[in-house]
């Protein structure tokens, strides 16, 4: 397959992930350019990557990207209104829009222009999350009825909840509370923090999502959890014949005898291994339940970057006639349920999900 030509709108922290993927996999991806709103930032980027910085949308699109990654916080809807009518394929960052009114407006735009848009929801592609989904898919746990997730926030968590429980837009009741606890900083986007500074306003959201039919998800996430060495991340999935508890899988075999296996991560370049330095996959017993699709290329990508690369690759296949990777209707439903969680916190009352404009599209999948 020819290299996938990617244009990026935005230049924030998140765009660094896309650029690192493009640099690590030059035989798969090519950057056609980045569109900036700030001319000074564009000038600095042009020094690093000559000919790749643009401040004019028409000149940016004239580079003929296969698709555009829309990564501009708070301005995704405005850019969508410019890109959809032009027929430009768009991979939009999460959340695709803010607030129910914007979510609905974005869906109306997609329908009006029959836009080729997918959403960059990729957390379920992280190696661990993908391994958990494969264990669930295999039927080892029996019928999965509930889970507890404490490793992803808001719409990312909702995406994983819906995928693991196998729900679309079934009626759902959402109850949630917000708690404040002090927490000591240990790291952040700039690296480790040994100052001992204490944040007295650590926010911890605790929520319950109860879907029609009884499937239930328990959500628990603190706002520092991505960047804190003393706040770990957890996942539990319960089924009729077994459970996943972090890296431990308990289940009944065909003779109905209890078995315990572990999810074992395989990374190259450790303990004397000289193959390279990258993630290979995750084993459950003797079987890989996840394999890094880029392991053969020995690309030095962290888990988020692996998932980023996979979504970018899937988007490239989609615009060339392949299957959808994460349709807009799915992301809008994720964002909608996350909004209900915040409304439950704000009002102190349980919220009931209602069918939205994208309701019929979910049922066609």
- For 124-302, the fitting CATH number among 3.30.70, 1.10.10, 3.30.360, 2.60.40 is 3.30.360
Question: How, if at all, do strands 187-188 and 117-119 pair?
Answer: unpaired
* Chain segment 129-147, per-residue pLDDT in tens: 999 999 999 999 999 999 9
pTM (2 decimals)?
A: 0.95
**What is the structure's pLDDT at 288?**
98
Domain boundaries, the chain: 4-119, 124-302
Residues of the chain below pLDDT 50: none
What span, in angstroms and rounded, lies between the C-alpha atoms of 48 and 244? Answer: 46
> Are the C-beta atoms of residues 24 and 332 closer than 8 Å to each other?
no
Phi/psi for 181 (5° steps) reads -135, 145
Structure tokens at 256: 């109905």
Closest to 295 in 3D by CA, of 138, 303, 287: 303
What span, in angstroms and rounded, lies between the C-alpha atoms of 363 and 365? Answer: 5
**What is the structure's pLDDT at 48?**
94
The shares of helix, strand and coil residues in the chain, as percent rounded to the nearest 5, are 35, 30, 35
Structure tokens at 59: 């000149």
**What is the structure's pLDDT at 271?**
85
**What is the structure's pLDDT at 329?**
97
**What is the structure's pLDDT at 96?**
84
What span, in angstroms and rounded, lies between the C-alpha atoms of 89 and 180? Answer: 42
**What is the structure's pLDDT at 364?**
64
Angle at the Cα of 215 (from 211 to 217), degrees rounded to 5? 85
**What is the structure's pLDDT at 228?**
85
Angle at the Cα of 352 (from 348 to 353), degrees rounded to 5? 130
For residue 201, CA distances in Å to 49, 53, 99, 223, 339 come to 40, 39, 24, 10, 21
The SS3 of residue 96 is coil
Closest to 252 in 3D by CA, of 238, 240, 244, 241: 241
**What is the structure's pLDDT at 365?**
58
CATH architecture assigned to 4-119 = 3-Layer(aba) Sandwich (3.40)
């Amino acid at each position: 397959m020819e290299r996938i030509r990617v244009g990026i709108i935005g230049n924030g922290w998140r765009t660094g992930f896309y650029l690192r993927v493009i640099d690590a996999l030059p035989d798969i991806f090519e950057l056609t350019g980045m569109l900036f709103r700030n001319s000074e930032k564009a000038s600095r980027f042009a020094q690093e990557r000559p000919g790749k910085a643009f401040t004019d949308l028409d000149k940016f699109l004239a580079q003929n990207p296969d698709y555009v990654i829309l990564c501009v916080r708070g301005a995704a809807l405005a850019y969508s209104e410019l890109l959809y009518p032009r027929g430009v394929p768009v991979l939009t960052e999460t959340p695709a829009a803010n607030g129910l009114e914007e979510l609905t407006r974005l869906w109306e735009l997609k329908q009006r222009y029959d836009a080729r848009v997918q959403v960059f929801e990729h957390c379920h592609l992280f190696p661990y999350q993908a391994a958990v989904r494969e264990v669930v898919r295999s039927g080892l746990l029996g019928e999965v009825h509930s889970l507890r997730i404490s490793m992803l926030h808001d719409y990312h968590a909702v995406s994983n909840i819906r995928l693991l429980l196998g729900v679309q837009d079934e009626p759902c009741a959402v109850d949630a509370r917000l708690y404040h606890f002090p927490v000591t900083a240990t790291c952040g986007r700039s690296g480790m923090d040994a100052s001992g500074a204490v944040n007295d306003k650590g926010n911890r959201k605790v929520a319950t999502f109860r879907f029609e039919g009884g499937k239930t998800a328990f959500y628990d996430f603190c706002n520092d959890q991505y960047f804190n060495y003393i706040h770990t991340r957890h996942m539990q999935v319960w089924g009729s014949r077994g459970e996943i508890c972090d890296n431990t899988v308990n289940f009944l075999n065909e003779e109905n005898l209890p078995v315990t296996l572990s999810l074992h991560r395989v990374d190259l370049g450790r303990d004397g291994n000289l193959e390279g330095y990258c993630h290979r996959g995750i084993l459950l017993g003797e079987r890989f339940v996840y394999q890094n699709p880029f392991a053969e290329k020995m690309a030095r990508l962290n888990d988020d970057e692996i998932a980023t690369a996979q979504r970018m690759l899937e988007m490239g296949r989609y615009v060339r006639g392949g299957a959808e990777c994460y349709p807009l209707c799915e992301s809008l439903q994720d964002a909608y349920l996350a909004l209900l969680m915040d409304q439950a916190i704000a009002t102190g009352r349980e919220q009931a999900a209602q069918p939205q404009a994208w309701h019929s599209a979910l049922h066609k999948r």
